[in-house]
């Protein structure tokens, strides 16, 4: 292809009919009419429309502070190493090639595209996801965090055996000076096999002073922010899976009760509760990347009160992400899955911790819920009357085994057994080998980038042509992040959406409306109509 006919990069501009750029404040204000179809209590169809204004602060941060709970684990040390690769142009021998720039494959924000429109021939035009509007650059992350183990980051990445030997050797000079901050360790919440790992803790194991621990974590956040001259910090849990806590009236059901329970050293206050509350009280967004029920009602109420963003639960990486796609594919095709058998084994410390039943149960819950919205969407395949005959519409078996020899390469095997017409059956078997932390790390990057991005967006409603007095921030539970999470946390009264396509479409269309474009569609009248 000659230079003359080489396609030029798309210069993304906003629609001036729908957007206004305030150059003084560097803010983009867009208008959008949200239309929906609503069925009332009598199942009568109504179409509704609500007018909104959205305001985006276009000033992305020069530095974004990241605090990881579990910094020395496989995910934490891999993210830390990735940032050092990006910042220092570290090269490493990878088969036949020397790579000087780390390609962030697996990151939707960095390596995927969005359909912007069509050209004059009606052919689709795609642009990078990250170029629609200004987003944080992972090369500008400032990363630190906590860990119950005191190994420096060079020791941690070598212990994890995630990266290639050559890359680890090149990274070591940039890692060995960083040691995780001491963390919170309450032995009842993670597997007993983690006890020997816990040599970097800030609390008394036998008689923890949980209010003191909370103040220590709050102070760590403030110190990190001050010492690194940061405007924004995000805290993300990527530590061991905890057992689920019991929801107890008077203990963790309201904001005031859970704060009082911390002061009283109540046994059902988990380490993840401490980190979440510390972050919320410091006005710092908190993301739960593990399956435990960190966000008990009292913490959600506290986030609402402090107007601090939260999101969870559990990174959606390999097996479960594929399951959300497969289930939607089958149900949308009118095929009826009647059983799903999911087995996986892994050899990293996450697998070791999950070999304990209480911690496995947390993971089992998050993995199982991923098919629920597909089942609810089709009452032809899954009528309510069917539940009178059995407990669940789909027999869903989940097994996780710890097998040290495979290390971070998690092996997943799934079988989808479905009913067809005239008594026929369909069986789909999938064998999936995932490098666990190399799938999780780009997802962490996306969660951090999008959390920061959404923190720069405000909105107001326009009712009967009259604007509300001021712009508002998002509701604290950031459900737009559901694409990256197995068991999406939702606002009370709303069911979570697990369908990967619907989650992705929501993100695409929201970015489009912010620059004044209509929601995407695939009617393709340019092709189908005269």
User: Mind telling me the catalytic residues?
Assistant: 314, 363, 410, 486
Cα–Cα distance measured from residue 247 to residue 294, given in angstroms and rounded to the nearest whole number: 11
C-alpha to C-alpha distances, 266 to 114, 184, 252, nearest whole angstrom: 48, 15, 10
Report H helices in 348-482: 349-354, 357-368, 372-376, 436-454
CA atoms within 13 A on the CB side of 119: 9
Cα–Cα distance measured from residue 96 to residue 487, given in angstroms and rounded to the nearest whole number: 40
List the beta bridge partners of residue 126. Answer: 115
What phi and psi, each to the nearest 5 degrees, are found at residue 148? -75, -10
Task: Give the residue among 60, 301, 353, 302 at the shortest CA–CA distance from 190.
Answer: 353
Cα–Cα distance measured from residue 27 to residue 55, given in angstroms and rounded to the nearest whole number: 6
Q: Cα 511–105–290 angle (5° rounding)?
A: 80
Q: Where are the beta strands (DSSP E) in 293-424?
A: 310-312, 336-346, 395-402, 409-419
- 421-424 long-range CB contacts below 8 Å, 24 or more apart? none
Cα–Cα distance measured from residue 216 to residue 328, given in angstroms and rounded to the nearest whole number: 45
Task: Give the residue among 320, 330, 321 at the shortest CA–CA distance from 416.
Answer: 330
C-alpha to C-alpha distances, 460 to 28, 54, 364, 425, 469, nearest whole angstrom: 14, 7, 40, 51, 8
Using the structure block, give the residue that is written with the tokens 């005191």. Answer: 150
Return all residues near 137 (Cβ < 8 A) that are at least 6 apart: 60
> How big is the chain, counted in residues?
530
Cα–Cα distance measured from residue 454 to residue 109, given in angstroms and rounded to the nearest whole number: 13
Using the structure block, give the residue that is written with the tokens 């009292």. Answer: 298
Cα–Cα distance measured from residue 289 to residue 73, given in angstroms and rounded to the nearest whole number: 13
């Amino acid at each position: 292809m000659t230079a003359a006919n080489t396609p030029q990069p798309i210069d993304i501009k906003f629609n001036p009919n729908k957007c206004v750029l305030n150059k003084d404040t560097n803010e983009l204000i867009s208008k959008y009419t949200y239309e929906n179809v609503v069925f009332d209590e009598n199942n009568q169809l109504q179409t509704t429309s609500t007018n909104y204004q959205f305001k985006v602060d276009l000033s992305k941060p020069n530095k974004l502070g990241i605090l990881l709970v579990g910094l020395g684990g496989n995910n934490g040390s891999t993210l830390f190493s990735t940032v050092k690769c990006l910042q220092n142009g570290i090269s490493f021998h990878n088969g036949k090639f020397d790579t000087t720039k780390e390609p962030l494959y697996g990151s939707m924000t960095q390596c995927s595209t969005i359909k912007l429109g069509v050209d004059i021939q009606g052919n689709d035009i795609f642009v990078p996801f990250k170029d629609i509007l200004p987003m944080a650059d992972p090369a500008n992350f400032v990363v630190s965090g906590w860990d119950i183990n005191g190994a420096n980051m060079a020791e941690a990445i070598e212990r994890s055996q995630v990266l290639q030997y050559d890359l680890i050797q090149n990274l070591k000079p940039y890692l060995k000076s960083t040691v995780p901050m001491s963390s919170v360790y309450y032995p009842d919440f993670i597997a007993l096999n983690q006890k020997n790992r816990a040599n970097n803790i800030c609390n008394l194991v036998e008689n923890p002073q949980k209010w003191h621990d909370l103040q220590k974590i709050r102070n760590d956040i403030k110190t990190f922010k001050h010492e690194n001259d940061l405007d924004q910090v995000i805290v993300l849990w990527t530590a061991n899976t905890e057992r689920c806590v019991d929801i107890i009236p008077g203990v963790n059901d309201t904001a005031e009760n859970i704060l009082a329970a911390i002061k009283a050293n109540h046994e059902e206050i988990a380490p993840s509760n401490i980190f979440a509350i510390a972050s919320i009280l410091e006005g710092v967004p908190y993301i739960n990347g593990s399956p435990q029920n960190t966000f008990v009602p009292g913490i959600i109420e506290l986030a609402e009160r402090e107007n601090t963003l939260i999101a969870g639960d559990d990174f959606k990486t390999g097996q479960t992400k594929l399951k959300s796609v497969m289930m939607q594919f089958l149900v949308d095709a009118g095929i009826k899955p009647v059983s799903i058998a999911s087995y996986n084994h892994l050899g990293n410390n996450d697998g070791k911790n999950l070999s304990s039943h209480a911690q496995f149960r947390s993971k089992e819950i998050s993995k199982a819920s991923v098919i629920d919205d597909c089942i609810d969407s089709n009452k032809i395949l899954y009528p309510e009357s069917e539940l009178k005959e059995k407990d669940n519409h789909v027999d869903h078996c989940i097994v996780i085994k710890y097998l040290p020899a495979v290390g971070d390469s998690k092996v997943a095997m799934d079988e989808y057994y479905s009913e067809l017409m005239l008594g026929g059956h369909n069986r789909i078997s999938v064998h999936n080998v995932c490098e666990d932390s190399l799938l999780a790390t780009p997802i962490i990057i996306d969660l951090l980038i999008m959390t920061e991005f959404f923190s720069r967006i405000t909105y107001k409603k326009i009712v009967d042509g009259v604007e509300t007095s001021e712009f508002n921030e998002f509701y604290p539970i950031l459900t737009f992040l559901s694409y990256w999470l197995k068991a999406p946390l939702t606002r009370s009264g709303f069911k979570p959406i697990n369908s990967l396509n619907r989650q992705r479409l929501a993100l695409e269309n929201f970015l489009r409306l912010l620059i004044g474009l209509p929601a995407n569609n695939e009617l393709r009248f340019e092709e189908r109509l005269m």
